[in-house]
Structure 1
Amino acid sequence: MKKDAYGTAEIPDKFYFKIGEVSHIAEVPPYVLRFWETEFKQIKPKRTDAGQRLYRRQDVALILRIKRLLYDRKFTIEGARQHLKKKSGASTEPVAKRPGIAEIRTELKHIRDLLDSRRR
């Protein structure tokens, strides 16, 4: 799975994803996604007439954020739920992890320094 500079899985440029695709992107089994859907009401995949789940990009971004909270930061389900609820009130932006201006500036300075050191 291709990852960005922050180690987060990159979300392909598509509108909808099947559960198998989301499972592959998030690197969790489909049953985990179905379980998280019951625990985190913000995950609301659309359903086809046949009942197949179709996740939007924002659902995939939320799933990646939930995975980071649970697996990397060791939140409990309830703790992750409260954290997301607290964060959702502060912003109307999608839940996808995006670097802030300060992080971008720091990263660009780092790249500039690397390029300068190679010129010497």
Structure 2
Amino acid sequence: MAKGDIPDKPYYRIGEIARILGIETHVLRYWESEFPQLRPVRAASKQRLYRREDLGTLFCIKGLLHDQRYTIAGARQRLDELAAAERQTQATPAPEQPAQPTAEDAADVRGQVLAELKDILRLLS
């Protein structure tokens, strides 16, 4: 199943996730024990319910393990690095706001607008 074919809903059962990722449910349960980033909520029926953000983490884990051939320990470390980089990105202050326009800038803009209005008036005449 392609990422674009994923139904848009808040929670997914373990069987749905397994079909989306193309893996067995026991693999998901094993990954839960190995990756602290995976903590699906439990329904009253004790069934695992994965959130959409869990799905992104699972795609990442699958890519690291299956495509990039990381070990479990290596994938766990890489996920920690990615999470730290994400936190660093979010903690970076926003760029400074541009300087306020000066009176000269405002006069230039007014002059340009006036010239354009005169051109429009001339075209309409």
1:25 corresponds in structure 2 to: 20
2:48 corresponds to which of 45, 48, 53: 53
Q: CA RMSD for the aligned pairs?
A: 1.2
Paired residue type of 2:48: R
Q: Distance in 2 between matches of 1:72 and 1:80?
A: 11
Q: Distance in 1 between matches of 2:60 and 2:6?
A: 12
Q: Distance in 1 between matches of 2:56 and 2:7?
A: 11
Secondary structure, in 3 states, of the residue corresponding to 2:19? helix
Paired residue type of 1:33: L
Matches within 5 A, 1:98-109: none
Count residues in correspondence. 87
Residue 13 in structure 1 maps to residue 8 in structure 2: yes
Q: Distance in 1 between matches of 2:3 and 2:44?
A: 33
Paired residue type of 1:66: I
TM score, norm. by length of structure 1: 0.69
Residue 70 in structure 1 maps to residue 29 in structure 2: no
Structure 1 unaligned residues grouped into runs of 5+: 5-9, 93-120
Paired residue type of 2:65: L
1:39 corresponds to which of 34, 37, 46: 34
Provide Cα deviations, 1:58-100, integer angstroms capped at 9, x if missing partner: 10110111000000000000000000001101114xxxxxxxx
Whether the 8 Å CA contact 1:18–1:52 is kept in 2: the answer is: yes
Whether the 8 Å CA contact 1:11–1:57 is kept in 2: the answer is: no
Q: Distance in 2 between matches of 1:79 and 1:2?
A: 26
Runs ≥4 in structure 1, deviation > 6 angstroms? none
Q: Going by fraction, where is helix more abundant, 1 or 2?
A: 2
Secondary structure, in 3 states, of the residue corresponding to 1:55? strand
Q: Distance in 2 between matches of 1:64 and 1:24?
A: 12
